[in-house]
Structure 1
Amino acid sequence: MAKRLKTNYESRLDAAAETIVNNDHCPIPGLVIMARRGEDVYQKAFGYADKEAGRLMTNDAQFRCFSMTKVLTTSIALMLRDQGLLELEAPVETYLPAFGRQFEVLHEAPHGEPGAFKVPYTSFMTGKTQNLSFTKTAAQNKILVKHCLSESTGIGYDMWTDFDLVYNQSLFGHQYGVAQALRRQKGLGFYSSNSIIGQNATLEEYCDAIAEAGYLTDEPGTFSYGLGALLMGRIIEVVCERVLGKHERFSRICEKKLFEPLGMSSAAFYLNDGDPRIAKIPQLYAATANEGSGPSGAIDVKPYVKCLPMVDDFPNTVTTAHFEGPRSCDSGDTGSCMTVLDYSKFYEMLLAGGCTPNGRRILKEQSVRDLAYGQFSDLDRQSKIARAFGLTGEAASFNYGWAVEAKTDKSPHCNHWSGYANNHGRLYIEEDSYILLFPQFMASTPASFPLGEPVIKEPMIAAFLSEWEY
């Protein structure tokens, strides 16, 4: 039976979207939504791309995809595996020799623990500096290629520690901030969530710097969400160079292997000066708490650059890094930008079994199955961050660049992931359906972090699923 949406679905989805941009507690300035079920397609823009400038959101807005880049990187890795050029079980050092060293795993330590070290850590969210206590042990495992796909390299983002410090909690752990602080002590200043693609380094230099520092936030094989796909992008560069006999940037490899075959004409990593797509990039927004308000009190929504303190050591380049500055490091974990329509073409390829619109296969059927259903069996999914994200394997787990959730009595099988700006996609491969939500509302302020799920994702996903006709 053909998959359909209910009669007059458009008006009800419109109403759900309007509640997001007009939310009483946290009005989201603007977003684009695209959804499909069978032959029924919904795509609309709501609100503003730049509220202060009076620029309305449009369907052809050029969105920063952030961590929704990870699964794109994974798909190219699987293309190379399909060709017999890449081994997922191989150590990363097979392709990146700098990683053939002994790494040290950092552990959060209570103050006063015997043998503990201290390092000053400055939070980019608050601008405050405090000493973090830690211990370290020799890593027992090597970083494997599959760890890059499953974000279990032990190279986690520093911002997880910021959230713990801001909320005075122990949800993620301090080892993420310790690793960043120690890397910076060695003069390796590339590693900061606030300049996540704005660092003045090539992809090779960035990866070599991480290896040179020698610090991991977790034992390899432990879910430690961060820069795994960045390493994967560099591995892809190396593998392709071995075949071609010349170097190509990861961004160019993506163009040749994914963007061009699928007709993703807007997709890019960086935009050169004068590129007309720059004018279509929305403003990045976030939230701050009003003076004197508690965690659930009144908030202000304003441009992201006005939401964080000015800290000399942490330039806030996230808003402009796609079109200003060095534009040197093609980040496979956070670097792509494109229209929502073009991102949907990746989902369409998976729904077509790995084929382009003209029928050319770019992914083997087994690789499509791995993306949709694959779960690595020998990973540690009990880390604090895995438990915080509900990715312990009981209901969901993170494997091939995104999460997989098995079908239950209450919900269909689903693959999903989000980006830094609360952009989100869900593919229902068994149902010939998907939904893409693209705001540009950053999660990385104390007030913003709890809002993405209840204000943006949950209501719109629920509205879409309620329109399914069986």
Structure 2
Amino acid sequence: MLALTGLLLGGMLATPTPAPPDPALAKRLDAVLDTAVAEQRVVGAVVLVARDGQVVYRRAVGQADREAGAPMTPDTPFRLASMTKPVVTLAALRLAEQGKLELQAPVTRYLPWFRPRLADGTAPAITLAQLLTHTAGLGYRFEESADGVYARLGVSDGLDDAGLGLEDNLKRLAQAPLYFPPGQGWRYSLGIDVIGAVIEQVTGKPLPEAVHALVTGPLRLDHLAFVAAPGTPLAVPYADGHPPLRMTENMDVPLPEGLGSAVRFSPRRAFDAKAFPSGGAGMIGTADDYLRLLEFVRTGSGGLLKPATLADARRDQVGAQAQTQGPGWGFGYGWAVLDDPAAAHSPQGKGTLQWGGAYGHNWFVDPVNRFSVILLTDTAFEGMSGPLVGQVRDAVYGRTAPSSQP
């Protein structure tokens, strides 16, 4: 079969095409996924693997709704959580190319009211680039203790039913002291939610409409959206446990040690058109559509961004201070960047991009080995940062003893 050509009429990105079966790859991945379900580490999962634009593995395993007995399918839509960030980042980069915003400009040019201060009371300039790379000095509520300043201010991480608007949430965020002077540290943050508000300001559109016009529409990602239509069979979310626990509304799910305190989830938020559109956590989508997005990121085909812009986004912008993925990883615009595979003990090529989502997801794009891989599960946080992540990765690369390290 032909490899991905990258272009359709009108410059659209082509859908990754099926490839001849790879029995060895399928055997390795099947074993990893079947074991994860049998051991009750996840309730269900979908994995897609593309190489050179051809889908060499596509499988769903387990259940999308355990209590209803509904099986997982490759087409099951998921709450994407932080897998929203790359989509909104690409929207911001398009606006930068169009001259509608400048990455090195202070955020106050677009949102004059967003002026967080340091502990000494000074209000330093924060650039859009710093927001995109999590070097602005902001944070997340889940990174703090349960009685931290973000919790006391009522800041939403974009996953709960907070009952407030985007601007209201960011005004609360602006009252919290910055963790460090902008550009002098790295901390995973609500920065992309701020970028979402900037996008609304410069386009004059609600964020969902702007993202559709700038990214998901041009790439024909028909199942990526901010609100699920009534009756959409989204995968039911579960929390780590033996067996995993079905999530309830505004449920606080403890994070693995070292990642923070707990994430507050509201599964029904995905159906609430009145919930504020979180640029960092608010989208839903399918594995197939997200794989198309990853293939754009890998190849640049389709004309969505200029090659130089995409190359800059894929470049490490911050260096070793970004340790969310561990040693050897930096951070670009929207994702972690692998600088040193040896330090990371990873079979992935240098320049691999990777990120995930709190509902239980992970993905990576390896430009050197021409892989795009997506793992969507319905179980947090095993599918985001548990052993399954490293096991899927190692199975893709043919390691005979899958690693327990994510």
Q: Verify same fold: TM over 0.5.
A: yes
> Is 2:36 the partner of 1:20?
yes
From 250, 270, 286, give the equivalent of 2:207. 250
Distance across 2 between alignment mates of 1:40 and 1:344: 9
1:272-283 map, 5 Å: 272=229, 274=230, 276=231, 278=232, 280-283=233-236
Structure 2 Cα separation of the partners of residues 229 and 161 of structure 1:
18
Instruction: Provide the C-alpha distance between the structure 1 equivalents of 2:62 and 2:148, rounded to a whole number of angstroms.
Output: 40
In the other structure, the counterpart of 1:137 is 120
Q: 1:339 aligns with which of 286, 305, 319?
A: 286
TM-aligned CA deviation for residue 198 of structure 1: 2.9
- CA-to-aligned-CA distance 1:44-80 (integer Å, 9 cap, x gap): 1000001111111011111111111111111111111
Aligned residue type for 1:404: V
Change (3 A) 1:8 1:399: closer
Judge conservation of contact 1:264–1:342 (CA < 8 Å) in 2: yes
TM-fit CA distance, 1:267: 1.1
The aligned residue for residue 133 of structure 1 is none
Q: Deviations over 1:158-215 (max 9, x none)?
A: 21224xx7xxxxxxxxxxx5321442xxxxx3x134x62533233233223333x253
CA distance in 1, matches of 2:266, 2:250: 12
Number of matched pairs: 368
Partner of 2:367: 429
Secondary structure of the corresponding residue to residue 58 of structure 1: coil
Q: CA RMSD in A?
A: 2.9
> Residues 50, 459 of structure 1: CA spacing in aligned structure 2 closer, same or farther, 3 A cutoff?
same
The amino acid across from 1:301 in the alignment is P
Once the two structures are TM-superposed, the CA of residue 346 in structure 1 deviates from its matched residue by: 0.7
Give, in whole Å, the separation in 2 of the partners of 1:436 and 1:411.
Answer: 14
What is the DSSP-based 3-state SS (H/G/I as helix, E as strand, rest coil) of the residue aligned with 2:353? strand
- CA shift for structure 1 position 82: 1.2
The residue that corresponds to 1:238 in the other structure is 201
**Match among 110, 120, 124 for residue 95 of structure 1:** 110
Unmatched tracts of structure 2, length 5 or more: 5-18, 254-261, 401-406
> Is the CA contact 2:250–2:264 (under 8 Å) kept in the aligned structure 1?
no
2:349 matches 1:412: yes
Tell me if structure 2 keeps the 8 A contact 1:6–1:467. Answer: no
User: What's the offset of the Cα at 1:139?
Assistant: 4.4
Say whether residues 1:220 and 2:182 are aligned partners.
Answer: yes
Report sequence identity in percent: 26
User: Which residue of the partner structure matches residue 318 of structure 1?
Assistant: 266
2:257 corresponds to: none
Would you say the 8 A contact 1:179–1:217 is kept in 2? no
What is the CA–CA distance in structure 2 between the aligned matches of 1:303 and 1:7, rounded to whole Å? 34
Residue 305 of structure 2: aligned partner: 363
The structural deviation recorded for 1:418 is 1.0
Residues 156 and 169, structure 2, Cα contact 8 Å, conserved in 1: no
Which residue in the other structure is 1:204 paired with?
A: 167
Higher alpha-carbon Rg? 1
Q: Name the residue aligned to 1:152.
A: 135
Deviation at 1:263, TM superposition (A): 1.4
Shift in alpha-carbon separation, 1:255–1:197, aligned structure 2, 3 A: farther
Question: Structure 1 regions of 5+ residues with no counterpart?
Answer: 106-135, 166-176, 184-188, 242-247, 289-298
CA contact (8 A) 1:270 1:327 kept: no
- Secondary structure of 2:295 counterpart: helix
State how 1:454-469 maps to structure 2 within 5 Å.
454-466=386-398
1:180 aligns with 2:150: yes
Letter in 1 for 2:335: W
* Aligned twin of 1:117: none
The TM-score normalised by the length of structure 1 is: 0.71
SS of residue matched to 2:29: helix
Shift of 1:366: 0.9
Q: TM-score, normalised by structure 2?
A: 0.82
Give the drift of 1:457.
0.3
SS of the equivalent of 1:79 reads helix
Match of 1:53 in 2: 68
